[in-house]
Amino acid sequence: MRFWYRCFFFVIALGFGFPIEWLDAAPFAQSSQQTVPGKQARHWESSVSLCGLSFQAPSDWIASREERLSSEHLCVVDLKSKNYDRLVGRDYPAHAWTISIEVYQKSFEELADDEDIIREGDRWFVGEGAFEQPAYEIKGPNWWGLRVDHFPMRSSTRANGSVQSEAVWMILSSTASKQAAKVTAGPGADDGPLAMLLSSVRFETKQ
Per residue in 5-42, pLDDT tens? 444 444 444 444 444 444 443 333 333 333 333 334 36
Q: Please, which pLDDT band fits residue 70 given cuts at 50, 70 and 90?
A: low
Across the chain, mean pLDDT equals 81
Give domain status of residue 38, yes or no.
no
CA 113 to chain centre: 26
Query: Would you say residue 150 lies in a domain?
Result: yes
Contact at 8 Å (CB) between 77 and 101?
yes
In a domain, 123, yes or no: yes
Same domain, 68 and 163: yes
Q: Tell me, yes or no, whether 28 and 60 share the same domain.
A: no
- Residue 39 in any domain: the answer is no
Specify the CATH number for the domain of residue 109: 3.40.1000
90 shares a domain with 24: no
The answer to the question of residue 159 being in a domain is yes
Q: What's the pLDDT tens digit per position in 171-193?
A: 999 999 999 999 999 999 988 99
Same domain flag for 123 and 196: yes
What is the number of domains present in the chain?
2
| Residues 104 and 162 occupy one common structural domain | yes
Distance CA 139, CA 159 (A): 38
Domain membership of residue 139 as a residue range? 45-203
